[in-house]
Amino acid sequence: MNYNPQEIEGKWQKNWERTKIYKVPDKARGKKNFYHLVMFPYPSGDLHIGHWFNFAPTDVYARFKRLQGFNVLSPIGFDAFGLPAENAAIQHGIHPKTWTYRNIKRMRKQLRSIGAIYDWSREIITCEPNYYKWTQWMFLQLYKKSLAYRAKIPANFCPSCKTVLANEQVIEGKCERCDSQVIQKEIEQWLFKITAYAEDLLKGLDEIDWPEITKIMQRNWIGKSEGTEIKFQIPNSKFQIPVFTTRADTLFGTTYLVVAPEHQIIETLKDKIVNYKFVKDYIEESKKKTERERISEIKEKTGIEIKGIKAINPVNNREIPIWVADYVLIHYGTGAIMAVPAHDQRDFLFAKKHGLPIIEVIKPKTGTSLFPEKAFEEDGILINSGVFSELDSAKAREEITKYLEKRNLGKKTVCYKLRDWLISRQRYWGAPIPMIFCQKCGWQQVKEKDLPVLLPKIRDFRPTGEGKSPLAKSKNFVETTCPKCNGPAQRETDTMDTFVCSSWYFLRYADPKNEKKFASKKKLRAWLPVNMYVGGAEHAVMHLLYSRFFTKVLKDFGYLDFYEPFLSLRHQGTILGPDGQKMSKSRGNVVDPEEQLKTYGSDTVRIYLCFMGPYNQGGPWNPKGIEGVYRFLKRVWNLQGKILNSKFEIRNQKLEKLVHKTIKKVTEDIENFRFNTAVSALMILTKEMEKQSEISIKDYLLLITLLAPMAPHISEELWQNLGHKKSIFLEKWPEYDPTLVREEIVTLIIQVNGRVRDKIEVEADISEEKAKELAFSQKKVKNWIEGKEIKKVIFVPGKLINIVVEEH
Ligand code: ANZ
Ligand code: ZN
């Protein structure tokens, strides 16, 4: 019989489903629980090869863990709300719900063809009321603790998607989804106070097994900065302007202050400002710019002096001018800076342009400074700084800060770049925010017993523009009664950012059907935190940060007993087209998994994805490579013909050793996500078996057990064909015999012209090349061969090497 994947794969997929072997109990006797999770997909269309790359090798890992004796939970579901589904629905002219469920149905089938061990009985879909009821419940918990609040703030607004976006969704000033230029718009919004957790989010990173690059991205995003807040008095007024600086050592070099256009001092001291009208014009002008334009390095820094008011430098009582410039951002620090043109290049250019004074206060410790050609930005030794002169920068920062603290004119502070998470979306396809506005009582929470606030099925779900959700058009939805006074009131019509839905989904898999709680404590304890999480690196500062935030909040509220949701994290790389370019329809280099599946079957595609390169890197798709993998499986299949049917096994020591070495290698490789080298080890073993005229059934079964996580269908087929009644996945992962993997050591005799000159210890199977290299480098040997012509080298493997040199 020939290898026919099309026949066996469907058969086993059905069999596994029928026998429910992947249904995971919360507790299995004698087994430890292991929660293995892959990021759930958007149901936005077909399963592409990138999905396969995420799901297939991770299923290898999950199956491996299962065979190792763990009770493995490997669930799947759909991140079903959100813009992508909605935009696509608009494009195709059908309702987002219809469109989403149609895709889910399709993707379920495609996901099944991977042959993964998903426990489908735990499937979750975030747009189901029994799921988003708990998303809304989460919102209410945050609201109760003042971690959800409403504010009128300038928001990133995408004119094409007609919605507000989170900072994380704005990539280089453009909408992540549609690439349109994002503009600033002031709208009342709901926000989550993630900034309250900035320090916890930083600290937790030290405890988790995540790729270093991802930790660095989160650290930078949180952007902790330690420095000093310094207060500059405004003469003849009771007002001060606090600034945030990391360079208190440069305080004597401050020649002016700059405030952000949104700074409240401008309105507060409006009557004193003599050029108020011009200042106002400047502010209006800057409103047209995006934040990116404002801080862009290339754009010239604009600004205007605020005439009529001054500031006092607290260390030397000098009076300095105050400017307004839009390169200073209102959200960071205090929204105002002290400008030190001699030591900050941005200030330097600004001072040059506007003819402001420049005072040098730092000299390099060693080497030279390019000042006054440009700012000297490094630490050094203080000059022109009164009693602080001659201190080095670090010491001076401390001393100057202390000096200010004593006089109540400054203090040590910490700033974070992280901003609160804007979660309102003026879009239809999301979980409604469970809040009600009453003219009399103000904002009121929907009572928990009234959850979920159902998303009504409305016809016209397209965005309205005007910064309002399409839900605002549905009277039935909007008009309600106040939970407090029972009078007429209106529902909030914004929906939640889909990242809210995915910030807690990993908890729900533990108890997906629970109607009383988002998950029972007992089940949470059984499964969480997630042991291994796998998904794209592009989620580093969004989903992966939000999930950590939610976990910490829920822990603090007493719902969880752990602080970090994902103990280990791995990222998959990207698969490129056969031409080495990013896959895209326009380039015509897209590899369609369905086609590959039809030609080669799931096992081959799975192994090829494991084999194509390091998992965290990916690489170009190679049509010859997948062909080779297919041949490999055929060869494994054909090895059946070599099985020795006699009961008296001849022990083939060499093969036995290789089998054990392979067990060791494959075990360690899969554990460390080195799927590619695990496959090569199996290929080597297969080749060796092919060389034998006969192989024992024991060795062959070991080979297919090792192959089982990668190629579950063929392995199951072979396993059961060879007389087993139960699934191979109920077996145990083989263990190697340590005595058999040890390299054997022998003494290699080194002769020169037939006379023994040295003896060295080497591995028994040392190659001729390696043996030569070692022999030539021995000191004793060198004495006999140096300066002489080597005629030939005779190598007797494992025994001796004889170097023949010319003799005089
Ligand atoms: C004076 C100074 C002198 C500064 C010098 C730097 C060099 P990080 O490290 O990113 O925290 N800054 C503070 N608030 C700002 C705002 N809202 N918008 C724009 N810039 C702001 O950077 C801290 C520095 O960024 C601060 O230290 C301040 O400039 C500027 F030789 O103060 B510095
Ligand atoms: Zn009321």
Closest CA to 38 of 431, 500, 505, 498: 505
How deeply is 406 buried, as exposed, middle or buried, from its count of CB atoms within 10 A (0-12, 13-18, 19+)?
exposed
Pocket of ligand 1 (CB under 6 A): 225, 244-247, 250, 328-329, 332-333, 335, 337-338, 340, 343-344, 415
Residue 413, phi then psi, degrees to nearest 5: -145, 165
Cβ contacts of 518 within 8 Å, gap of 6 or more: 134, 137, 138, 504, 507, 508, 511, 559
For the ranges 23-27, 582-586, 657-661, which has the lowest average pLDDT? 582-586
Q: Among all ligands shown, which has an atom nearest to the Cα of 480?
A: 2
Most ligand 1 atoms within 8 A of CB, residue of 337, 369, 374 to mutate: 337
Q: What is the mean pLDDT of residues 702-710?
A: 97
Nearest ligand atom owner, CA of 393? 1
Q: How confident is the model at residue 749 (pLDDT cuts 50, 70, 90)?
A: very high
Cα(254) to ligand 1 centroid in Å equals 12
The reported pLDDT for the residue numbered 649 is 63
Nearest ligand 1 atom to the CA of 333 is: 14
pLDDT class of 138 with cuts at 50, 70, 90: very high
**299-349 per-position pLDDT tens digit:** 788 999 999 999 999 999 999 999 999 999 998 999 999 999 999 999 999
Q: So what's the pLDDT on residue 233?
A: 97
Measured in Å, residue 244 CA sits from the centre of ligand 1 at 7
Confidence of residue 646 (pLDDT cuts 50, 70, 90): low
CB 431 within 8 A of CB 455: yes
Per residue in 264-280, pLDDT tens? Answer: 999 999 999 999 999 99
Does residue 483 carry a pLDDT above 90? yes
Q: How far apart are CA 359 and CA 343, in angstroms?
A: 9
Mean pLDDT of 123-129: 97
Ligand nearest to the CA of residue 443, numbered in listed order? 2
**Does the pLDDT of residue 804 top 70, yes or no?**
yes
Q: What is the pLDDT of residue 160?
A: 85
Helix %, strand %, coil % for the chain, to 5? Answer: 40, 20, 40
| Atom of ligand 1 lying closest to residue 225 CA | 11
Q: Are strands 240-245 and 224-233 parallel, antiparallel or unpaired?
A: antiparallel
Q: pTM for the complete prediction?
A: 0.87
Is the pLDDT reported for residue 1 higher than 90?
Answer: no
pLDDT tens digit string along 609-625? Answer: 999 999 999 999 999 99
Query: What confidence tens digit (pLDDT) does each residue in 420-445 have?
Result: 999 998 889 999 999 999 999 999 99
Name the closest-CA residue to atom 9, ligand 1.
225
Mutate to test the pocket of ligand 1, among 244, 255, 264, 323 (most ligand atoms within 8 A of CB): 244
Cite the DSSP H helix spans in 518-614: 521-527, 543-556, 593-600, 602-611
Residue nearest (by alpha carbon) to ligand 1 atom 18:
328
* Centre of ligand 1 from the C-alpha of residue 175, in Å: 28
> How many CA atoms are closer than 13 Å to the CA of 354, on its beta-carbon side?
22
Token look-up 């070599």 returns 642
Q: 266 and 324 in contact (C-beta within 8 Å)?
A: yes
d(CA 169, CA 539): 11
Atom of ligand 1 nearest to the CA of 327: 19
Distance 501 CA to ligand 1 centre (A): 36
Residue minimizing CA distance to atom 31 of ligand 1: 343
Q: Which of 539, 443, 543, 439 is nearest to 494 (CA)?
A: 443
Closest ligand relative to 437 C-alpha: 2
pLDDT band at 599 (very low <50, low <70, confident <90, very high): very high
Ligand 2 center–CA 265 separation, angstroms: 37
- pLDDT bin (cut points 50, 70, 90) of residue 460 is confident
> Per-residue pLDDT for 53 more than 90?
yes
Q: What is the pLDDT of residue 650?
A: 63
What HEC string does 312-343 produce?
ECCCCCCEEEEEECCCCCCCCCCCEEEECCCC
User: What separation in Å is there between the alpha carbon of 478 and the centre of ligand 2?
Assistant: 15
From the CA of 436, which ligand is nearest?
2
Ligand number nearest CA of 488 is 2
Share of the chain above pLDDT 90, in %: 77
Strands (E) located in 537-680:
566-571, 574-576, 618-620
Average pLDDT over residues 462-490: 89
Helices (H), 151-272: 198-204, 212-222, 265-268
- Assess contact for 280 and 428: CB atoms under 8 A: no
Over pLDDT 70: what percentage of the chain? 98
Give the confidence band of 533 by pLDDT, cuts at 50, 70, 90.
Answer: very high
Average pLDDT of the chain is 92
Smallest CA separation from ligand 1 atom 32, residue: 245
Output the pLDDT for position 696: 87
Closest ligand 1 atom, residue 335 Cα: 17
Higher pLDDT, 464 or 524: 524
pLDDT the model gives residue 222: 96
- pLDDT tens, 764-789? 878 898 899 999 999 989 889 888 88
User: What is the reported pLDDT for 665?
Assistant: 94
User: Mutual orientation of helices 96-112 and 83-92 as an angle, nearest 10°?
Assistant: 110
**243 C-alpha to ligand 1 centroid (Å):** 9
Ligand 2 centroid to residue 496 C-alpha, Å: 24
137 CA to centre of ligand 2 in angstroms: 21
The alpha carbon of 168 and the centre of ligand 1 are apart by a number of angstroms equal to 22
pLDDT for residue 763 is more than 80: yes
Helix (H) or strand (E) holding 411: strand 410-416
**Residue found under tokens 């759930």:** 40
Question: pLDDT band at 739, cuts 50/70/90?
Answer: confident
The closest residue, in CA terms, to atom 10 on ligand 1 is: 225
The total number of residues shown for the chain amounts to 808
Where does the pLDDT of residue 645 fall: very low under 50, low under 70, confident under 90, or very high at 90 and above? low
Predicted confidence (pLDDT) at residue 288 exceeds the cutoff of 80: no
Q: Which atom of ligand 1 is nearest to the CA of 362?
A: 31
Supply the pLDDT for residue 648.
59
Residue 666's nearest CA partner among 60, 37, 25, 35 is: 60
Longest dimension (CA), the chain: 117
Residue 91: what pLDDT? 82
- Ligand 2: distance of its center to the CA of 163 in Å? 29
- The minimum-distance atom of ligand 1 relative to the CA of 342 is 31
